[in-house]
Structure 1
Amino acid sequence: MRHKLLAVLCVTAVSASLLGGCGSEKKTEEKETAGEVQGNELSDGSDEEAEEETKTEEAASEEKSSEDSSKAEGVTLDVSKPLSGTHHAEMILKDYGTIKMELDADTAPLTVTNFVKLVQEDFYDGLTFHRIIDDFMMQGGDPEGNGTGGAEETVKGEFSNNGVENDISHTKGVISMARSSDYDSASSQFFIVQADSTYLDGDYAAFGHVTEGMDIVDEICKNAKPINSSGLVDTPEQPVIEDIVIVD
Structure 2
Amino acid sequence: MKKKNIIMIIAIVIIVILIGGLGYSYYLAATKKIQNPVATIEVEGFGTMKVELYPDMAPNTVTNFIALANRGFYDGLTFHRIVKDFMIQGGDKLGNGTGAPSLSDVKDGGSSDEYAIQGEFSLNGYTKNTLRHEKGVISMARSDYSQMGLYEEGYNSAGSQFFIVTEDNSNLNGQYAAFGKIMDEESMAVLDKISEVEVKAAEGSTEENAEVSTPVNPPVIKTIKVDTFGVDYGEPNTIEPFDYNTWFQETYGIDPSALSAQ
Secondary structure, in 3 states, of the residue corresponding to 1:226? strand
CA contact (8 A) 1:119 1:246 kept: yes
**Which residue does the alignment assign to 2:159?**
187
Q: Which of 212, 224, 230 pairs up with 1:244?
A: 224
Q: In 2, Cα distance between the equivalents of 1:109 and 1:231?
A: 34
Q: In 2, Cα distance between the equivalents of 1:138 and 1:231?
A: 13
- Superposed CA offset, 1:201-223 (max 9, x none): 11100000111311111111123
CA contact (8 A) 1:133 1:224 kept: no
**Which residue does the alignment assign to 1:127?**
77
Secondary structure, in 3 states, of the residue corresponding to 1:244? strand
Q: In 1, Cα distance between the equivalents of 2:62 and 2:72?
A: 15
1:147 maps to amino acid: G
Q: In 2, Cα distance between the equivalents of 1:145 and 1:172?
A: 24
2:92 maps to amino acid: D
Secondary structure, in 3 states, of the residue corresponding to 2:41? strand
1:192 maps to amino acid: I
> What TM-score does the superposition give when structure 2 sets the normalisation length?
0.60
Structure 1's unaligned 5+ residue stretches are 1-83
Deviation, 1:231, is: 4.2
Q: In 2, Cα distance between the equivalents of 1:148 and 1:192?
A: 18
1:201 maps to amino acid: N
Determine what percentage of the aligned residue pairs are the same residue. Answer: 48
1:154 maps to amino acid: A
Matches within 5 A, 1:1-20: none
CA contact (8 A) 1:132 1:224 kept: no
**Which residue does the alignment assign to 1:233?**
214
CA contact (8 A) 1:126 1:241 kept: yes
- Superposed CA offset, 1:102-134 (max 9, x none): 000011001000000001110000000000011
Deviation, 1:196, is: 0.7
The alignment status of 1:104 with 2:104, answered yes or no, reads no
The alignment status of 1:175 with 2:155, answered yes or no, reads no
CA contact (8 A) 1:85 1:104 kept: no
Q: Say what the alpha-carbon RMSD is for the aligned residues.
A: 1.5
Count of aligned pairs: 164
Q: Which of 189, 192, 195 pairs up with 1:221?
A: 195
- Superposed CA offset, 1:139-188 (max 9, x none): 00001111111212211100001010110000100000000021100000
CA contact (8 A) 1:90 1:99 kept: yes
**Which residue does the alignment assign to 1:200?**
172
**Which residue does the alignment assign to 1:52?**
none
Q: In 1, Cα distance between the equivalents of 2:120 and 2:169?
A: 18
Q: In 2, Cα distance between the equivalents of 1:202 and 1:246?
A: 25
Q: Which of 101, 119, 131 pairs up with 1:157?
A: 119
> What TM-score does the superposition give when structure 1 sets the normalisation length?
0.63
